Each structure stands twice: as C-alpha cells, then as structure tokens.
Amino acid sequence: MEANMSLYEKFGGEETIAKVVDHFYDRILADDTVNHFFENTDMEKQRRHQTKFISFALGGPNQYTGGTMAKAHAGMNLQPEHFSAIVEHLHGALAHFGVEEPDIAQTLTKVATLRDDILYK
C-alpha cells in the first residue's frame, strides 16, 4: 500500500464501504441495546447516508450533505453504553470484511472524535 493511500482507497472505496455499512446495521438492528433508536428510521436512506459519511471520514470524496452530528442526534439522549455498542458493531463489521486491526483502530479513533457531538443530545 502506498504510504499516502487513504483508508477509503485501501478498503476498496464506496462500494466496499456500503457492504460494511449494511453489515454494521444488520448487527445494530439485532441488538436490543441500540435498535430502538432506529424504529422510525428509513433504513435504506440511513444506510446510503452512513456510507457517504464513513467514506468521507476515511478520506474519500466529500459527498456528505447531512447535518452536524449534534443536530442529527438531537433528542436521542445517547449514553456512553450506546456509543460503545455502536463502536463495537462498527469494529465487528470492519473485521467481518477482513480489515486489519491497525486500520480498524485508526477508523475507530476517527469515530471517537465525534463522541462529544453525539452523546447526551
């Protein structure tokens, strides 16, 4: 891998990330700790939106047009255990598709920077 290659490129671009996102949401919807947050969500739209967001977060093109993290999670009152469950499911989805642990750690570090914008809103 080239030293300056983004994780987005390394993972195979948006097509692969979409598969990871699908698996990620399959895991979330099977988890009673967090699935209730998605009861009234258009999951097809959510999956597309999340694919664009994660693609951008991993160094891909900025196609993300959603609101801020704080605005997107307003009224949900997400707690640390919910954030941890989501991170665990993202880890599991990335691992499922053969992403190596150092790359997963780098991805989760990026996700962790959003924690304060997501919790307790």
DSSP string, 37-93: GGTT--HHHHHHHHHHHHHHHTT---------HHHHTTT--B-HHHHHHHHHHHHHH
Split at pLDDT 50, 70, 90, the class of 2 is: low
Q: Is 73 within any annotated ligand binding site? A: yes
pTM listed for this prediction: 0.90
Which domains, and CATH codes, for the chain?
11-118 (1.10.490.10)
pLDDT (tens digit per residue) in 21-75: 999 999 999 999 999 999 999 999 999 989 988 898 888 987 777 778 889 899 9
Q: Is 36 within any annotated ligand binding site? A: no
pLDDT attached to residue 4: 77
pLDDT attached to residue 67: 75
pLDDT attached to residue 116: 93
